[in-house]
Amino acid sequence: MNAIFKLLPQAVWVASPADKAAVLEQLAARFAQVYQLDQSVVLEGMQEREALGSTGFGRSVALPHARIDGLARPVAAVMKLTSPVDFAAADGLPVDMVIGLLSPVNAGATHLHALAALSRLVRDEDMHRAMSEAGDPEMLYALLTNALDRDAA
């Protein structure tokens, strides 16, 4: 797996949040469950970052992220939405794919490198299409890990 951040299979799932707040709540809950983090700390960190400006990346993807205490390295989670949610993205499109990233407070450049790797993934036309068409979480996880491993090599 990519050395920049960790993505575990159980951190990739399909959900039906009603709005942006519910997306962040469900994302925080999954981060807490999978990576043994404090859900309220995760949610607060993502909400604080979101208050600075939308993490709606565009192309129907959001990249919520935060730096929090208690992590040894960056970790990711991916939520594929059954119905698009308004995320106030710059292109105005609602999101149907959410890729969350949490990094240690002192991660500095590592956090930026991880965000850059994720943004490259969603900017790649073939990868973006494949992610959108992935039929289940297992397919999406395999697709992401293969792409990230290839980029790391």
107-113 — which CB contacts under 8 Å span 24+ positions? 107/67, 107/71, 107/74, 110/4, 110/73, 110/74, 111/65, 111/67, 111/74, 113/4
Q: Residue 52 and residue 46: Cα distance in Å, rounded?
A: 10
Q: Residue 103 and residue 70: Cα distance in Å, rounded?
A: 9
Tokens coding 91: 């292109």
Query: Angle CA(129)–CA(101)–CA(64) in degrees, nearest 5?
Result: 75
Active-site pick, 65, 111, 113, 128: 65
Annotated catalytic residue 65: yes
Phi, psi of 122 (to 5 degrees): -80, -15
Phi, psi of 105 (to 5 degrees): -55, -40
Tokens coding 76: 């990711």
Catalytic residue set = 65
